[in-house]
Structure 1
Amino acid sequence: MYSNAEGIEWVEELAYTAGGQIGEISRQTDKAVLFRNGTANRLPVGTKIYETDTPVCMAVVDGRNPLYLKMVEWGGRILSTGMTNPILVWCFFIDGM
């Protein structure tokens, strides 16, 4: 699961290089139980997701390149580096990442 990293200062200051495509949004839903590979809650179907040479990945949508942080579950809690309030907005799921 990845979450939008806009507004996170250290992410916005990153100098990064886009790498290869790691996924594409194939389904949109706002119901967490329906998330599976390629599902997003706000990114439109067809949005391509790319890795970078940093801890974030990048989406390409409407001429913008928003960055996303991987969210990790540990001990039943969702963790994401740099997030002070990890609310699930603008998130997507790519299997195996």
Structure 2
Amino acid sequence: MHSNLSLLLLVSYISILTGCTTGTEEQVVTISEITPEEILRLEPDADIFQYNDVIYQTNIDWVDELELTTGKRVMTIEENASDPEGFSHGTANLLPIGTDIFEADGRHDVLIADVDDEYLYYMAIVEG
């Protein structure tokens, strides 16, 4: 299911970035940030949180296969929201309040959540 979401997002991004051509004018539309609404509309059971202005998602097969080590702690989950409009920095839909979030050594696009000494990898969901 996660590979289907990744494929759907990739196709959507390519379509958006390609734009449409009318005559000699070319119009390109880009999205700078993926919103919680967009992710949860495509995958209602997604496990996400927001760090600064970026949404991170876990259970992405190829990310889960990485062998990463934790770097410095960058934040703690401060609130839960089931409504995607209630998301801001430090908000998660499934992670418990108080969960520590760490950098992943050597990766700037992955953060690691420590849930009862189990490490979950979260990938930054951004347009590329």
TM range, normalised to the smaller chain? 0.5 to 0.7
1-side partners of 2:93 and 2:65: how far apart? 26
Letter aligned with residue 120 of structure 2:
P
Relative contact order higher in (CA < 8 Å, ≥ 6 apart): 1
Distance 1:45 1:66 in 2: 15
Query: Which segments of structure 1 move beyond 6 Å, counting only runs of 4 or more?
Result: none
Q: Kindly tell me the number of residue pairs found equivalent between the two proteins.
A: 72
Q: Does 1:50 align with 2:110?
A: no
| Alignment CA distance shift 1:7-1:69 (3 Å) | closer
Structure 2: unaligned runs, 5 residues or longer = 1-54
The AA in structure 2 aligned to 1:45 is I
Distance 2:64 2:89 in 1: 27
**TM-score for the superposition, normalised by structure 2:** 0.51
CA deviation vs aligned residue, 1:49-87 (integer Å, no higher than 9, x gap): 001122311000122101000011x4xxxx7xxxxxxxx
Write the distance in 2 (CA, Å) between the matches of 1:47 and 1:35. 16
**% same residue:** 35
Cα RMSD after superposing both structures = 1.6
User: Unaligned stretches of 5+ in structure 1?
Assistant: 80-97
Q: Going by fraction, where is helix more abundant, 1 or 2?
A: 2
Q: Does 1:31 align with 2:31?
A: no
Alpha-carbon separation, structure 1, partners of 2:87 and 2:125: 14
TM-score, normalised to structure 1's length? 0.66
Structure of greater Rg? 2
